[in-house]
Amino acid sequence: MLSRSLSAIAAALRNGEITSLELTEAAIARHDAVGGVLNAYKTWNADEARLQARAADAALVSGAVLGPLQGIPISVKDLYGVKGWPTFAGTPKRLPPQWEQEGPVVAALRRQLGVVTGKSHTVELAFGGLGVNPHWGTPRNPWDAKAHRLPGGSSSGAGVSLWEGSALVALGTDTAGSVRIPAAMTGTVGLKTSYGRWSTAGIVPLSYSLDTAGVLARSAADLAYAFAAIDPAWGDAAALDAATAGLDLDAVRIGIAGAPLWDDCSPGIAEAARRALDELAKKDAKLRDAPLPQAKDAIALLHQGSVASAECDAFLEAELPDWRPHLDPIITIRIADGGAIPARDLLLRYRRMQRLSREVVACFEGLDVIAAPTVPVTPPTLEEVADLGAYRRLNMLALRNTCLANYLGLCAITIPVGLDAAGLPVGLQLYARHSQEERLLAIARAAERVLGVPRERLGPPPLAAA
């Protein structure tokens, strides 16, 4: 029953074909089968999930249909406050109770009686793109049965939970790629919403200027369904489904970004992304080159620390000063770099991002989206990032193509399009202008009808539950 689309599962719940408890028990069984290997969750509570499922079923029996995600198993990144669940934000200490209060995104799930299966792992304070956490263990990418490959971060448990089968939707956050990187590295679909579209209240911040809430799902169709269920402008998944389901590719105009976004890719990544675009072109999508001159400036900001490290340093000083001695040294060094930025330089970086966001709009003239590989590097193994220098180099490379959406004020989606030379998933990223999520989702769905859903396109990962 878990293999069906979200819309089909929701319909089956409403007509009594299945119950939320049955669905949740199936998700729990998947976790029991491979959860010990994959380590997707910081906090897992099967009994609490069962209680939520029974409540969703009782409401359905009484005729109360409360929303599209009613009775659906959902994993929540351990930055979000969820009442009754601890929040660690990837740190070794439980955060104060104020960070367990629910914000609007989680409240939307709760109103619908969605079933929170657990709090998925995150990089400490969401400060990293590879998914490493030395305090609680790093989730394992399910695409390599021999080596412990990284799942991408900072929403490191999110994509893993989807392949594990313990969740059908995963909530993440994205400051420079933290939804899209794990989605690309695990072969799932991930959406970074436009800055300000979804409230970040009730979420432990990394950067107030860049943080966005986002969602991962098993297909573009599922992601559109989940987006509509959460988004304040919709709430009606059926309406958005109708609005995004019928787009023909001959009406889609795709720009292909140039250097440096296609450069220095691991073997097979650029090739898989280009093949996917060629397949779309054969179905009449309109392709043309679309340079993004702002990309180099955005990547330079990434290497300078943008504003995220400074804002994280200030947050720690104001809210969690006692946590500093316990942080991973890698995180401590990066935050300290931000704390040393002079105020004048920080203000200049804010102004630079604002200027780039204004300028990039012209790049989309005559285009719906601009495409590039989501992550240019094969997911490394845990051993390959044990050295600090190697970690920093690979982390920056993993963030290179995704940081643009945050620094340039765009929304973006990643869809899996193939496997690289090492047999790991490749994501194709589509950038769109601010507040163009509906068009972006429609294009992703149109592409998926040609390319196939992830399980069809890639096959199942070796470590996924049966």
3-state secondary structure of 287: strand
Q: How many CA atoms lie within 13 A of 404 on its CB side?
A: 29
Query: Which entry of 20, 178, 266, 309 is annotated as an active-site residue?
Result: 178
3-state secondary structure of 325: helix
**Cα(382)–Cα(400) distance, rounded to whole angstroms?**
20
With 0-12 / 13-18 / 19 or more C-beta atoms within 10 angstroms meaning exposed / middle / buried, residue 408 is buried
- Helix (H) or strand (E) holding 388, with range, is helix 388-399
Helices (H) and strands (E) in the chain, counts: 17, 11
- Helix (H) or strand (E) holding 397, with range, is helix 388-399
Helices marked H in 324-366 — which ranges?
Answer: 329-339, 343-360
Query: Which entry of 42, 77, 119, 192 is annotated as an active-site residue?
Result: 77
**Cα(200)–Cα(202) distance, rounded to whole angstroms?**
6
3-state secondary structure of 302: helix
In eight-state DSSP terms, residue 262 is T
Helix/strand/coil (H/E/C) assignment for every residue in 169-237: EEEEEECCCCCHHHHHHHCCEEEECCCCCCCCCCECCCCCCCCEEEEEECCHHHHHHHHHHHCCCCCCH
Strand partners, 278: none
Annotated catalytic residue 77:
yes
Query: Which entry of 154, 155, 156, 166 is annotated as an active-site residue?
Result: 154
Annotated catalytic residue 357:
no
Amino acid at 266: S
For the annotated catalytic residues, the residue numbers are 77, 154, 178
